[in-house]
Structure 1
Amino acid sequence: MREVLIDQAKRLVAERHPDASAVVLAGSVAAGRARAGSDLDLAVLLPDGRETHRETLRHEGRVVEVFAHTGAGLAELRAFDAASRRGVVQQLYATGLVLLDRDGRVARIVADCRAELLTGPPPLGPEQRENLRYALTDLLDDLGDAPDRLEALAIGAEVLRTAADLLSDHHRAWTGTGKWFPRRLLAADPDLGRRLLEAHRALGETGDPTALAAAATAALALAGGPLSVGYRRGWPPAARGAAPGGKR
């Protein structure tokens, strides 16, 4: 199966990007987890002057995600993904399978992306961290006062995300969305991360927020503890986080 998908990826690039200088096949195929219906994730390095873009297409009946970059565009995306603390592009190149490298550049890119992932994202600034502490403190108050399960579930989702952001920052670990959210959270802190995830599931199953509140409070403690009275921010905010006087 893997060799079949690799050959298909090479045909797609030859058809659509014959001038590509490098191609990296990522995702489930590179990880050896591909199934019959798996899509293809391709990073394609284009010559300068071309457009950096992302495109979803169907090739030979299979969905393909193409992440096409010029050298300058890739550098911008790496900086953006580092600042967002998600490291998406870095993960794409660092864990992928190199299918083409005409000039040796992608080998250096792969090495640099692996180093960036190992180093972790830059730490949050003091104001960003305070914003998250304030937001989580406020959310935990709301969670304890939620009048019904629907509100508790909505608040609980925000509690989980905000606690995960603080916990990931504490460990200088990358964050994620979708399926990558639990994967990255468990990688950041296998014990407390699992407590948060299982407590969020328990909230959905039973409506009881006790376990989630306890796990999120533990994450908050690692970041400096609750923050409420004394919090003040001007507008516009200087850093990402809660707007003054409101929720994140």
Structure 2
Amino acid sequence: MNSSRIQPVEAAKKFIAEKFPDCQAALLAGSVVRGEDTATSDLDIVVFDEKVESAYRESLFEYGWPIEVFVHNLTSYRDFFKSDRESARPSLPRMVSEGIVLFDSGVVSFIKDEAKVLLKKGPEVWSIETIVMKRYMITDALDDLIGSTNPAEDLFIANTLANEIHEFVLRTNVQWVGSSKWVVRALSQFDEKFARLFVQAFDLFYKTGNKDEIIMLTDEVLKPYGGRLFEGFSLGKGDRI
């Protein structure tokens, strides 16, 4: 942490006192709360203000800190909870659940309970049709990687495949998914052994160009669901008269 900065909780409280003095509640979340902050970490602050007509997000720099503020009224957060569950990326529920209370007029406990229930429930269960479609998409990306002889294209095919495998493993097990750094975090929270194999396979490829471990990992992931899928896959065909 930058030694010239004031402490994160102190900075967050000053921010709320100056920018949102009449809010109903405010929380500090993110990496600084989890003890995972780095030299480039920001302060994620969630504000609940009944005077706000619609939710918004804003980036600022105050008190030596980059600050991301997520502002909601006392009902708008539920729409975001709902959309986060539908996307299986629980950004706001996670921030609310883990957040340190900066100010509370008496509403935080109820909102935190809602977030914790949602997180425990997990995302919506994938349908059989969705699993079949995702098998096809992973097979398609894997075939592209196997057949490619262009190292530049390989980099981006592998990136697509990594995201699709991570999503498939987590969603078929009714787990939350991630993006960016949260891809590995989400996998590790679910299955540390698989996360290590996942990282190992793609690390080997990016360092050496060796695709073998990615191919084996992909086949292992698809095996319980019928393996690779190409022949017979159909989407939107329907019944013909």
Fold match (TM-score > 0.5): yes
Per-residue Cα deviation, 1:123-176 (whole angstroms, up to 9, x for no partner): 112222222110011111111111132222211111111111110012211111
Contact 1:196 1:216 in 2 (8 A): no
The match for 2:191 is 189
Identity score, percent:
30
The match for 1:244 is none
Residues 4-13 or 80-89, more deviating = 4-13
Q: Which amino acid aligns with 2:168?
A: L
In the alignment, is residue 113 of structure 1 matched against residue 115 of structure 2? Answer: yes
Rounded Cα–Cα distance in structure 2 between residues aligned with 1:123 and 1:223: 15
Instruction: Report the Cα offset of residue 191 of structure 1.
Output: 1.9
The match for 2:230 is 228
Change in 2 beyond 3 A, CA 1:18/1:50: farther
Residues 93-102 or 113-122, more deviating = 113-122
Q: Which amino acid aligns with 1:177?
A: S
Runs of 5+ consecutive residues of structure 2 not aligned to the other structure: none
The match for 2:151 is 149
Residue 91 (structure 2) aligned to one of 74, 88, 93: 88
Q: Which amino acid aligns with 2:210?
A: D
The size of the alignment, in residue pairs, is: 234
Rounded Cα–Cα distance in structure 2 between residues aligned with 1:199 and 1:117: 29
The match for 1:239 is none
Q: Which amino acid aligns with 1:44?
A: V
Residues 221-230 or 207-216, more deviating = 221-230
Residue 178 (structure 1) aligned to one of 160, 177, 180: 180
Contact 1:167 1:188 in 2 (8 A): no
TM-score, scaled relative to structure 1: 0.87
TM-score, scaled relative to structure 2: 0.90
Rounded Cα–Cα distance in structure 2 between residues aligned with 1:95 and 1:41: 11
Contact 2:6 2:63 in 1 (8 A): no
Q: Which amino acid aligns with 1:168?
A: L
Rounded Cα–Cα distance in structure 2 between residues aligned with 1:68 and 1:49: 8
Once superposed, what is the RMSD of the aligned Cα atoms? 2.0
Runs of 5+ consecutive residues of structure 1 not aligned to the other structure: 236-248
Q: After the TM superposition, which residues 186-225 of structure 1 pair with which residues of structure 2 at under 5 Å, given as runs?
A: 186-225=188-227
Change in 2 beyond 3 A, CA 1:34/1:139: closer
